[in-house]
Amino acid sequence: MKPWRVKSWCIGKPSAQYVAKMEDVLAVYARPYDPKRPVVCLDEASKELHSTPRGSLPMLPGQPQRQDYEYERHGVCNLFMALEPLTGRRKVRVTERRTAQDFAEELRTLIDEDQPAADVVVLVTDNLNTHGPACLYQRFEPAEARRIAAKIEWHYTPEHGSWLNCQIAVVGDHLFAPHRVPFGRAAGRHWPPLPDRNRVAFVKMIGVGMLSWLLAIGAS
**β-pair type (39-51, 121-125):** parallel
CA 94 to chain centre: 12
CA-CA distances (angstroms) from residue 80 to 20, 45, 106, 162? Answer: 27, 7, 8, 15
* Domain range list for the chain: 16-50+70-219
| pLDDT tens column, 165-214 | 654 544 555 555 556 666 655 555 545 444 444 333 343 332 222 223 34
| pLDDT tens column, 102-114 | 999 999 999 999 9
d(CA 38, CA 13): 32
d(CA 42, CA 165): 8
Q: How many CB atoms lie within 10 A of CB 24?
A: 16
Check whether 220 has a pLDDT greater than 60: no
Grade residue 158 by pLDDT with cuts at 50, 70 and 90.
confident
Contact 43, 126 (CB under 8 A): yes
Contact 50, 37 (CB under 8 A): no
Indicate the fold that domain 16-50+70-219 takes in CATH: Nucleotidyltransferase; domain 5 (3.30.420)
CA-CA distances (angstroms) from residue 212 to 33, 135, 157, 216, 217? Answer: 19, 33, 19, 14, 17
Task: Record the pTM.
Answer: 0.74
